[in-house]
Chains A and B, each alone.
Chain A
Amino acid sequence: MRHLLGTEGIDPADAVAILDTAAGLKQSLEGREVRKLPTLRGRTVITMFYENSTRTRVSFEIAGKWMSADVVNVSSSGSSVSKGESLRDTALTLAAAGADCVVVRHPASGAAHRLAGWLKDVGTSVVNAGDGMHEHPTQALLDAATLRERLAGGDATGQDLRDRRIAIVGDVLHSRVARSNVHLLTALGAHVTLVAPPTLLPTGVGAWPVTVSHDLDAELPSQDAVMLLRVQAERMHGGFFPSAREYSIAYGLNERRLGLLPEHAVVLHPGPMLRGMEIASSVADSPRAAITEQVRNGVHVRMAVLYHLLAHEEENA
């Protein structure tokens, strides 16, 4: 693997291999004094964030550092980007400065793909850390890792998510997390149901390998997991639903709805959460929710991704 740009068309065997590596790293780092591995010593990882982020940027930085890579963070403010440098020139500059891997978050869908094209000849790997409303593959991988671990209730090495039922609820239209999860979870054999008001579903959703529903209560009893999406006010220009309160009543996961889920079902949220909007505060803090585990697994999954991209012989592609 040279780049991780998305989960669309991902080889299920590659995905399971990354999940297995992440689980191995987690198990190997558990409870030890020195949480540092020498594996990527001498490799340089540069994160380029053109959009705000806490968990993803920090998670990549910790992942790189725990693998002994040198990690440099670049943000759009405080860099030459604010002087008007193009994405292409910034990327080529960072590659010339010695980046083995560029982790990019950008508000434009497709930015990571363009970057990979520009860096084709220099041998730098590109990881998509979220591009507009398109994809966020490492988030989907950490969601899958969390689901696999929770649902297996033990060692899940080599397993996929065959025949698991997962509902993705809320603002699918603006969500790169939803897109990446649909592709990854279905590739891993899971059955995905999207639950959202019609205004928050993308056109062309009919072509996706999913079931679509507008009735959350009806779907909950048959699910192994529910993934709630943040209502992305910053990407909404217009009335997608009458009011926050009405959205919350129709699509928010509250105590009553938690009771409709099977006993073993897991509640996921990619964060940042809007408590009281898509998820009730008590649900977010309940033991059924795996939200902090998702963040913890995020570090191991990103370590695994860096390992799969950087710790093997050069491919002569």
Chain B
Amino acid sequence: MAPRQRGATDPAGERELLSAGDVARTVARMAHQIIEKTALDAPSAPAVVLMGIPTRGAPLARRLADRIRDFSGVAVPTGTLDVTLYRDDLRRGPTRPLETTKLPAGGVDDRLVVLVDDVLFSGRTIRAALDALRDHGRPRAVQLAVLVDRGHRELPIRADYVGKNVPTARSEEVHVLLEEFDQRDGVVLR
């Protein structure tokens, strides 16, 4: 298959927003921003943990942690936080299967928790994540990192770290593809 041109629309009506290389560079930039904003490599640094929201937030959190370790030498613990049971739209679809919740060793109490998700859209997933987090402990602060912010917020929520802002129509779908699930990295609009 010929390399896809950025912005080109393929026959399936799919437009590439980020290539695999773009995803890697974006994750690296976000890792730098997290190091800078949280000063996690300073002597009096707060204990930072990255909590990925399944499914695609989980590997993104691990990738961010890997880059942060590469750039700062600090090993940031990661975990996953399933928000299914806290969603406000459970009665608007078929039964949703649960995902994994795995707190980092030592939990979230008094730590700076960075929630990691692939796409920020209505903000309802993050609302659910904040509720879920509250049942697991009391973080010192909570921040949000997303690979793509596509707008159309329905709640007063914003991200602290954004990989790429993408203006979209409500009817469009943004898909983050990750090798762990999709055999390739990239972000496409359908």
Contact = CB atoms under 8 A, between A and B. Distances in A.
B94 interface: yes
Interface stretch (B84-92, B152-160, B170-178): B84-92
Interface residues of B, number: 21
A39 B82 contact: no
A313 B94 contact: yes
Interface string B79-105: 000100110001111111111111000
B182 interface: no
Nearest to A312: B95
Contacts, number: 59
A24 interface: yes
For chain A, give the interface size range.
20 to 34
Interface string A23-38: 0110110001110111
A308 B131 CA distance: 22
Contacts of B93: 312-313
B36 to A, nearest CB: 32
Given A38-B85, A312-B90, A17 B136 contact: no
A162 to B, nearest CB: 20
Contact of A312 (B91, B99, B100, B136): B91
A37 B102 CA distance: 16
A interface SS class? loop
Given A24-B98, A28-B101, A33 B82 contact: no
Nearest to B102: A27
B84 to A, nearest CB: 8
B90 A24 contact: no
B86 A21 contact: no
B10 interface: no
B98 A21 contact: yes
B137 interface: yes
B135 interface: yes
A34 B135 contact: yes
Contact of A32 (B85, B96, B136): B136
A24 B99 contact: yes
A20 B95 contact: no
Contacts of B137: 32-33
A311 B95 contact: yes
19 contacts: A20-B98, A21-B98, A24-B82, A25-B98, A27-B100, A28-B82, A28-B98, A34-B135, A34-B136, A37-B86, A38-B131, A39-B86, A311-B90, A311-B95, A312-B93, A313-B91, A313-B92, A313-B94, A314-B91
Interface of B: 82, 85-86, 90-102, 131, 134-137
Given A21-B97, A32-B137, A38-B86, 6 more contacts: A20-B98, A24-B98, A24-B101, A32-B135, A39-B86, A39-B90
